[in-house]
Amino acid sequence: MTGIETIMRTSAVIPVLVIDDAATARPLAEALVAGGLRVLEVTMRTPAALDAIREMKQVPGAIVGAGTVVTLEQFEQVMDLDVEFIVSPGLTETLGRPIVDSGVPFLPGVANAGDIMRGLDLGLAHFKFFPAEASGGLKALKALAAPFYQAQFCPTGGITEASAPDWLAFDPVLCVGGSWVTGGTMAEVEAKARAANALRR
């Protein structure tokens, strides 16, 4: 298995984390890991993201990656933090080639056949299907997966606790991304993480 496939198979759900205050990052990571969700995607959507990654990387057992990486500058910033994987919402050769060449596990976003073909050209076979529900949902992914039989996916965007099992039941789907596990007290987060981890078929 490739590095990214191993990461995708670690947990049924990858929490998509938007951190506004880095002080909350470590307790959140501890709760998610305690619930069985070890793979954590910290999105680069807030000024606190880099500090949040630093905090989460101190949690034993956590596999911390950077999400919403859209520029080469962000790529360089997160590589300086020694992130364990990188997720982008889309895929361009300008961004994708340096990430692939770096050897860091990479999960680029795709929404159509052209995106997947661009990824295959870069030597990739693992993709984030994003935005999953807005891009046609499970029906659309099944149509895309047929010609691209070698590809495996992590659908993200609009996935809920209720819909996740349907996505996970489709063979090319190794995991799903979701934010429903992140709200509430840390005890509630741990309980939601435990329930989400149990969705693995």
- Residues with catalytic roles: 41, 128
Two structure tokens written together for 71: 């520029």
Q: What is the C-alpha to C-alpha distance for residues 186 and 78, in angstroms, rounded to an integer? A: 26
In terms of Cα–Cα distance, which of 67, 81, 69 is closest to 7? 67
Hey, what amino acid is at 58? Q
Enumerate the β-bridge partners of residue 156: 177
- Report how far residue 80's alpha carbon sits from residue 191's, in angstroms, rounded to the nearest whole number: 33
What is the C-alpha radius of gyration for the chain, rounded to an integer number of angstroms? 16
Q: Is 128 helix (H, G, I), strand (E, B) or coil?
A: strand
Sign of torsion over alpha carbons 32, 38, 43, 48: positive
